[in-house]
Amino acid sequence: MSWQASEKTDDDLIAARDFIAADNERAARDFLDAAFETFEQLSKFPEMGPAADFKHRALKGIRFFVLPPPFNRWLVFYQPSDKGVDIRRVLYGNINWREEPKRFF
């Protein structure tokens, strides 16, 4: 199995890296390593994250998984597919993604 990232995911990773790097360049690199390791793990075990339970049909099947510490405030949103997983977004956990899914997906 494999994973593929959306264009929004790429933008999310760049923004998160830049935000973290403003305080700590090494932590920014560690963040990206943790994200990519999580993507690999999800591609092997796509059912390990809980369903996001969005009401909108277009978002059905999206799951999420928390990055490992110290980045455990970041969520990876993904959708299992026949080929592995499609990584849809990587978002900071305090945003209101449940109430405003159309804003993020």
Q: What is the pLDDT of residue 27?
A: 98
Amino acid at 92: Y
Q: What is the pLDDT of residues 39-98, one digit of tens each?
A: 999 999 999 999 998 877 778 899 999 999 999 999 999 999 988 999 999 999 888 887
Q: What is the pLDDT of residues 89-104, one digit of tens each?
A: 999 988 888 787 888 8
Q: What is the pLDDT of residue 62?
A: 94
Q: What is the pTM of this model?
A: 0.92
Q: What is the pLDDT of residue 24?
A: 97
Question: What are the structural domains, with CATH classification, of the chain?
Answer: 2-104 (3.30.2310.20)
